[in-house]
Structure 1
Amino acid sequence: MEDSADFRAAVRAHTAAMLSGDASPYDAALDIWGLASGEWPEDDGDETCCSLQLIWGALTDWVEVRPAETEQAETNMITAAREWLAIEGDRGAEARYFDRWVHDILGYERPAPPQT
Structure 2
Amino acid sequence: MVDDVAKAHDFYVGTLGFQVRDDVTAGDYRWLTVCNPGEPDGTQLLLEPKGHPAAVPFTAALKSDGIPLTQFLSEDVAAEYEALKAKGVTFTMEPTDVGPSIIAIFDDTVGNLIQLVQLKKQLSVRPR
Q: TM-score, normalised by structure 2?
A: 0.29
Q: TM-score, normalised by structure 1?
A: 0.30
